[in-house]
Structures are given as structure tokens and as C-alpha cells.
Amino acid sequence: MHWTLLYFYGMNQKINQHIVLVLGASGATGKLLVAELLKRNVQVRAVVRTPEKLSHLQGAANLKIIKGTILDMTESEITECISGCNAIASCLGHNLSFKGIYGKPRKLVTDSLRKLCNHVIRAKMENQVKIVLMNTAGNRNRKIDEPISLAEKCVIGLLRLLLPPHVDNERASQYLQDEIGFGYDYLGWAVVRPDSLIDKDEVTNYMVHVSPIRSALFNAGKTSRINVAHFMADLITVDSVWEKWKGQMPVIYNASLGS
């Protein structure tokens, strides 16, 4: 049986001042996460390759736009990025082009996370740092017994062969589970797994489950990017939500699965 929580938009309150580093901040979900965090009066450091993609937010008092990519940054640049941060959120994803899918960096998400986590560990940061990773409902949580049919196993095997971004998503979550795990008091993580992403203008009610309630391959549900951004912001700013989901891979669906 799956544990389910239905979140009602507006139910949770921001409780503290936070500083959050957002990766993939120029992406479709990343932009929404930045906007949601700013709405909650969070200080945001947005790492982007193209700052113009955040031009609609430029001038926001709590927003610092950092041009570049984590993989290309020097150690001192990384220190500057994460100094004082309470959370690192990743909405990174490979661009849906031939170069984005098959070119380098093949392990964009995993290697960016690894580089940042290694830095946090070496720096022995005084404050606790939450890692909130956007992933996919098509990725299994290997630590719990998530049922998977033979047909799904076959398709996932093919995806691993044909789609490097799928492997990157799997490895990124495995990295957090296996190498970070629960071994660091000051470093916690949660992996957010949306199903098929859709765009909506407003946050709507959404459901969060421990595991998928339907097949992401053969009977996919829908998840609004704006709901993903809202849930990621809750994980970062609302203690009760973090305590509920830290160290887990929650799956998020719109409450009304048809829309």
C-alpha cells in the first residue's frame, strides 16, 4: 500500500530565511522554482549558462544570477556559490536535441551533484545543506520494493542503451542513495519524481506518493512543472515537509490526473 499525502496549495507556511543555489534555473521547471522561492522571500543563487533567460526576474532583490555551469567552475567559484547555502536544488536536464542527448557532458546531473556534494563535505559546512533533486517517475527507488513488470524492465533496458539522460537520472539518484545516504549530519537529500511534465499557469492540488501509483511508461500520469516547483520549494522551506520526505524519492502527480 502506498502512503499518500494530498497537499492543498497554500497549506504550508515559510518559516525561515534561506539561501538556495538553483541549478538548471533557466529551464522550464527551474525558472518556476526560482520564482516560487523568491515569492517566499528566499535568497536565490541561480546558476545559468544564459542569464537572459531569467531577464523577467532580473532586478529581484533576493536573486543573484551566476553565469556558468557547475562542471566548468573552479573550486573557489564553487565555494562562492555554496557559501552560506541551506539548500541546493537541481532542475538540470539534458536538452532535447541530438547534442543534448548524446553529446557531453553525459553525466551532467550526476557529476554536477557529485562536485557540489564533495565540496560541501570537504568544507564541513556549519549549516545543514539540503539537496533537492528533480528526477523522474521513470526511475525506480532501488531501496524499496517498487514493483515493475517484465515489459517495463525490457523498455527500461532499452532506454539505458539508447538514452544517456535516463542513465544520468538513475545514477544521480543512486549517488545520493548510496554515496551520500544518511552518512552526513549536515547533508540531507530528497529526490522528486514527477511523471509526464505539463505546463500550467497556477499551482493546483497535487498528490505525493512514496512510489509510483501507475506505470510511467505505459500509463503515465501528469505533473505540472509549477507543482513540481512548489513541492521542491516546500521541501526547502517547510520543515514538516522536509522531515516527511528527506532520504526518499517522492513521486508527484497532479491531484486531477487528467489535467
Residues of this chain that bind ligand NAP (CB under 6 A): 24, 26-30, 49-50, 53, 69, 91-95, 100, 105, 108, 134, 136, 169, 194, 196-197, 225
What is the closest distance, in whole angstroms, from the C-beta atom of residue 27 to ligand NAP in the complex? 2
Of 155, 172, 158, 48, which Cα lies nearest the Cα of 106?
172
Chain Cα centroid distance, residue 142: 18
* Residue of closest CB approach to ligand NAP: 93
Nearer to ligand NAP, 49 or 122 (CB): 49
* CA distances, 141 to each of 187, 210, 218, 233 (Å): 20, 9, 18, 22
d(CA 196, CA 1): 23
Output the nine-digit C-alpha cell for 112: 554536477
What is the closest distance, in whole angstroms, from the C-beta atom of residue 68 to ligand NAP in the complex? 9
Of 218, 232, 245, 185, which Cα lies nearest the Cα of 20?
232
DSSP H or E segment with residue 61: none
**Residue 1 CB contacts under 8 Å (≥ 6 apart), including other chains:** none
Nearer to ligand NAP, 125 or 172 (CB): 172
Nearer to ligand NAP, 117 or 125 (CB): 117
What is the closest distance, in whole angstroms, from the C-beta atom of residue 147 to ligand NAP in the complex? 20
d(CA 160, CA 226): 28
Nearer to ligand NAP, 120 or 133 (CB): 133
Nearer to ligand NAP, 125 or 164 (CB): 164
